[in-house]
Amino acid sequence: MEPPLHGITVVALEQAVAAPFATRQLADLGARVIKIERPGHGDFAREYDSSVKGLSAYFVWVNRGKESVVLDLKEPTDRALLDRLLARADVFIQNLAPGAADRLGLDSERLRARHPRLITCDVSGYDPDGPYRDKKAYDLLVQCEAGLVSITGTADSPARSGISVADIAGAVYAYSGILTALYERERTGRGSALAVSLLDALAEWMGHPYFTQEYGGTPITRSAARHPSISPYGHYRCGDGAQVFLSVQSDREWGALCEQVLRRPALVRDPRFADNPLRHAHDGELTALVEECFAAHTADGVVALLDRAGIANARLRTVAELADHPQLAARDRWRDFGSPAGPLRGLLPPVQVAGREAVMGPVPALGEHTAAIRAEFAGTPEP
């Protein structure tokens, strides 16, 4: 059975993380993604690190399943080849530096006028309009501008998110927008011009702290690995020194925790803990009580008690432990895919399509497909 996006061609003038991660999702669903790279070094994410058998972890993560074509867009022959690619493409996505697409004549207005069925997607840091339009927008900087760093970390020190969450947010909206535009084109025959900014995407994800601050008048405080407004919700030390995370979401669950796990039913009637706002106000005292009870058990024993009581919980796993996570292993979620450095192992995409395996093609070497693309499009007339 063919993958869902079989027959869809995406031309990507992309670099770093946001646009490449969006197009990798499309490639996993069967789209042909032709990645245009600059001569010499290509996508600068190729040189971020060399931790994956000499390859960049960032590049490997977001670029499998694509064809790499090296073009000098200031050279007439190469630019003519790009124009021929665009004439046959379904989607064009770019996340060049501010103003670069316009200078190259690759802005959505001109492209859509020439190719009405084409779907264009411009991914930017702050959008081409507004006072921030010319600012560089790297992930941590967008996290700062969106307010995320101000609520992440400990009371003493703010911290960045441990992953490129601004890039990922922008990629997710670009990906879903492109899928929506493809569906719309099936009904109308017309393409669309999409625009996604990393600030807009991450600001959307800041909805809970925004509404809390704007209408509740209560700023979100940095709470490290504990929840800023729910208690008990966080990490608790057990008798073997390991920590277990748990979350109580209702008074019913609070009663189950006290009676079945802590074996202290009187706490249910303790006026300090009568409801969540009071429990949160007395979180320090509550933490001491929980850890006092957990001291009699190993972390495995605490997890077993919590599971039997229906209390949500988790173990604090390292990145190394993620590679052997029992839930992922039991569901056969890992697959091998190719790369210039040999076979690598990665996770299947999150979206599962019944009866169809994700494509998960190889990571391309720089310019690996340039000759083949030149040959394929050599006889294509100028658009």
CB 348 within 8 A of CB 282: no
CA atoms within 13 A on the CB side of 137: 32
Active site residues: 227
CA–CA dist 108, 80 (Å, integer): 18
| Rounded Cα gap, residues 221 and 63, in angstroms | 37
Please give the Cα distance from 198 to 202 (Å, whole number).
6
Amino acid letter, residue 313: N
Pairing of strands 334-337, 312-315: unpaired
Q: By C-alpha distance, which of 114, 63, 125 is closest to 92?
A: 114
Our measurement of the distance from residue 270's CA atom to the centroid of its chain's CA atoms, rounded to an integer in Å, reads 42
Where would I find the beta strands (DSSP E) of the chain?
Answer: 9-13, 32-37, 66-70, 91-94, 119-124, 193-197, 233-237, 243-247, 312-315, 334-337, 344-347
